[in-house]
Chains A and B, each alone.
Chain A
Amino acid sequence: MSYSVPFSRWAQAVVLVLAVFLFLGAGDTDARFKDLGHRMMCTCGCGQVLLECNHVGCQSSDKMRNQLLAALDRGDNDDLILQGFVQEYGPTVVAAPTTTGFNRVAWVMPGLALISGMAFVVLVVRAWKNKPAPAVADGVPLPRRGELDDFKRKAREETDL
């Protein structure tokens, strides 16, 4: 007896495996502190990622690190923590655009550029392969295949080859 698995089941399984793959190990507090600390910027004006700000006594980064630890101890999830920081410090505290609203465009464009570029190159290559040899630089067209055969025949006749 044959049994076929519906496509949606396969898709769900793939998504599940990917999710497990991506979020493996993200559970423990230390790893989450590192991860979230690298997803936020220090607000002291140094322009560095929160956990890379190396100013001793930096009012901003010390306070923010403590807030982050407190939020992790409370058991807040990552989204809630980031939202809290955005509310307090503004949207520039997050080190990368979010994946909501207009900010999605930031993430989409590079992939779009790559895919459309690939498609363009493939089209160009196919067009080049299919079209006859183009004109030379000085405007004199290269002979077409039939003309070329005529030239070859003439050359053979004249040289007796």
Chain B
Amino acid sequence: MSQIGSFALLLALGLSAYSFLAGLLALLGRDAGSLRLGETARRAGIATFAAVLLASVVLVTAAFKDDFSIAYILHHSNRDLPVAYKFAVLWSGQEGSLLFWSLLLAAYGFVLRLRYKIDQRLFAHASVIIAAVQVFFLLILNFAAHPFGMVAGTIPEDGNGLNPLLQYPEMVIHPPMLYLGYVGFTIPFAFALGALIMRYPGEKWIHITRRWTMVTWGFLTIGIFLGMHWAYYVLGWGGYWGWDPVENASWMPWLAGTAFLHSVMMQEKRGMLKVWNMWLIFITFMLSILGTFLTRSGVISSVHAFAQSGIGAWFMGDFGRLSGFPLFYWYPGFLEIVLVVCACFYWANRDHLQSEHKLESLVSRESSFLFNNLLLMVACFTVLWGTLFPILSEWVQGHKVTVGPPFFNRVIVPIGLLLMLLTAVGPLLAWRKTSLESLKRNFLLPLFGSLAIGFLMIAFGVRPWEDPSFFYAVMAAILSMMVIFTVISEFVRGGRVIAGKSEMGLLAAMVHLWHRNTRRYGGYIVHFGVALVVIGFLGTPFNKEVEKEMGFGDKVQIGPYTLVCQSYTQDDNPNYANEWAIINVFRGGKQITTMYPERRFYKSTGQPQTIPRIYPSYKEDLLLVHDLYLVYEGRNEDTGKPIIKAHVNPLVPWIWSGFLLMVFGTITCLVPNAEARRAVPATAPVREPAHVGAGD
């Protein structure tokens, strides 16, 4: 079986190398032969997908068949592993996850190459660039991180098993989503670079890649939030984001991608920021690759990172000294090559990227996008800086320092608040120029509404002058509500205009409004979701926690809850042994639920895992909802009684609601506009319809 897999990988490498080289030659020529050669390159690209898919199927089949002669299966699976997690074996280790990366890239390439008739020459350029990226990953898979390596000597009866932390339903979804996001940014990158190389006239390449970018961004968003949800529900420390380098690695391309999604509108509508957008998508792609490098090279320590390996040099190159000689050597890695290629093509074609319009006013949608991009990129830089600072410190000072949550919270939170302010004000600004009168008219209601929320918080006992974290919480509440009021006012104002001109009711008019410009109003829904997420974050300073050893009948008081330990017990199954406590939860003297915090001991790996239990108080507190979060930490060896840690985490459920709204908003952005569908013929260039309100 491993031979089939190995052969499929070699074949995929040959096919993608052919797709790259033949495609490149075809682009250089202009005759009929070049066209035919280009067609063979396209087909080779399609066949690459089939070959990588075959290799992936072989690896998953080996996991299902418990083929422990393959070292990867031995190290990441075992006989008693539940069926769903056998699929997860594909991305649970270094080699398999690289294969998965390659598979997703091949799948994206497959779709792109099937849709080549939209614009054959642009797609041919993009196809060659994707083939080049594919060659890089297949080279690693074939020569540095081979997933079909065989076990030397006697083959063990059973495997080492899957990491217990990955044995959770969300872990079957989270990595694929994250990878779809990471890998997906290759597509807009390929189109952008292709458009630059061929000096593509106009902005059609942006129209073509808009949905690709949006879908990719959506996947990355889902991946990040599923990761947060998994951390909250599995790791058992009561939090969802620890500023771990691997978490940061996923957030950086998200920030850059978000900046791109905003600033690209300036290019579409006003022909501005062409250079910036080009570099923004280059940077986003490079950050995706950098994230892949950071998680795999071992240069930074993280609980999420894969084992330390030598593949880092493939990504970042190597700089060292020849042993025994005072001579230095250097060879570039993939990232350096990408950077040089992008810089060269940019330099050669920079005159093609001149703005078609100038900025007319500082109070305009354009300038709000500029500042939005600035803040997003400063946030991105800060995360990158904090992530890499330990390495820099080691170079300069000779020792590492830790850059953990206190640093990021102190630096990122103010930037985040400024971003929220822009999110609230930006939609109220029109393209080109906004009069201060109109801004005042549209902004007063959201401003006073949100300030009222701030005063309410102070009235209910939050003292922003007592602690900086309370100050940030009040500011976050005010700005989030400002965003929410702005979004609502935009929908209502636009809806009223339509309702006034038709027979529609306000609600129907608002739906119609969204349907006329799904991108704009879908974007507002995303903003609403972001505001809810921030509301979820602002509960952190008000978290409560208590830790106590609980025997039969013992009580603990936390927040409004009284916890009573009814019993504690243990169980055993082929995959793991477990212990858990049975905790009755009372509120206001009435029992509201029973919770079963658990701790498992996986037999194959010998590792423990905490399974916290969480009770969101939706029924009791609709708006000021919180989570009661119980963790079974283990047993006191002397008394045999379980130690329970209880947290009350205010507002956390809003994070997940906000996330769902963000996903919903992203999906609504992808729906074609009603008027565009009816009025614009298929061959006509895409144009946004006229808008109601301040502008798109």
Interface set of A (CB-CB < 8 Å, partner B): 21-22, 24-25, 38-39, 41, 46-49, 52-57, 90-98, 101-103, 106-107, 109-110, 113-114, 117-118, 120-121, 124-125, 128-129, 131-139
B402 proximity list for chain A (CB < 8 A): 41, 91-97
From A39, A49, A118, residue with most partner B Cβ within 10 Å: A49
Please pick, from A49, A95, A134, the residue contacting B354 in the complex, using a CB distance under 8 A.
A134
A128 proximity list for chain B (CB < 8 A): 355, 358-359
Q: How far is the CA of A117 from the CA of B276 in the complex (A)?
A: 13
Find out whether the CB atom of A137 lies under 8 angstroms from the CB atom of B271: yes
Q: How far is the CA of A57 from the CA of B400 in the complex (A)?
A: 27
B378 proximity list for chain A (CB < 8 A): 110, 113-114, 117
A-B contact pairs, 29 of them (CB 8 A): A25-B467, A48-B242, A49-B405, A52-B242, A54-B610, A54-B633, A56-B635, A56-B643, A57-B637, A91-B399, A91-B400, A91-B401, A93-B402, A96-B406, A96-B407, A102-B393, A106-B386, A106-B393, A110-B385, A110-B411, A118-B374, A121-B370, A129-B359, A129-B361, A129-B362, A132-B358, A136-B271, A137-B354, A139-B351
Q: How far is the CA of A122 from the CA of B401 in the complex (A)?
A: 35
B633 proximity list for chain A (CB < 8 A): 54-56
Min Cβ gap A134→B in Å is 5
Find out whether the CB atom of B301 lies under 8 angstroms from the CB atom of A52: no
Given the interface pairs A125-B362, A125-B367, the reply to whether A137 lies near B356 with Cβ below 8 Å is yes
Min Cβ gap A14→B in Å is 15
Q: How far is the CA of A159 from the CA of B513 in the complex (A)?
A: 40
A107 proximity list for chain B (CB < 8 A): 407, 411
Q: How far is the CA of A22 from the CA of B236 in the complex (A)?
A: 31
Judge whether B634 is part of the interface by a CB distance below 8 angstroms: yes
Q: Which residue of A lies closest to B608 (CB)?
A: A55
Judge whether B613 is part of the interface by a CB distance below 8 angstroms: no
B238 proximity list for chain A (CB < 8 A): 52, 54
Judge whether B321 is part of the interface by a CB distance below 8 angstroms: no
Given the interface pairs A128-B358, A138-B201, the reply to whether A106 lies near B403 with Cβ below 8 Å is yes
Judge whether B620 is part of the interface by a CB distance below 8 angstroms: no
A131 proximity list for chain B (CB < 8 A): 358
Flag B346-382 by CB within 8 Å of A: 1 or 0 each.
0000011111111111100001001100110110011
B401 proximity list for chain A (CB < 8 A): 91-92, 94, 97-98, 103, 106
Please pick, from B244, B410, B415, B468, the residue contacting A114 in the complex, using a CB distance under 8 A.
B415
Q: How far is the CA of A35 from the CA of B585 in the complex (A)?
A: 30
Q: How far is the CA of A41 from the CA of B237 in the complex (A)?
A: 14
Q: Which residue of B lies closest to A103 (CB)?
A: B401
Min Cβ gap B448→A in Å is 26
Q: Which residue of A lies closest to B397 (CB)?
A: A102
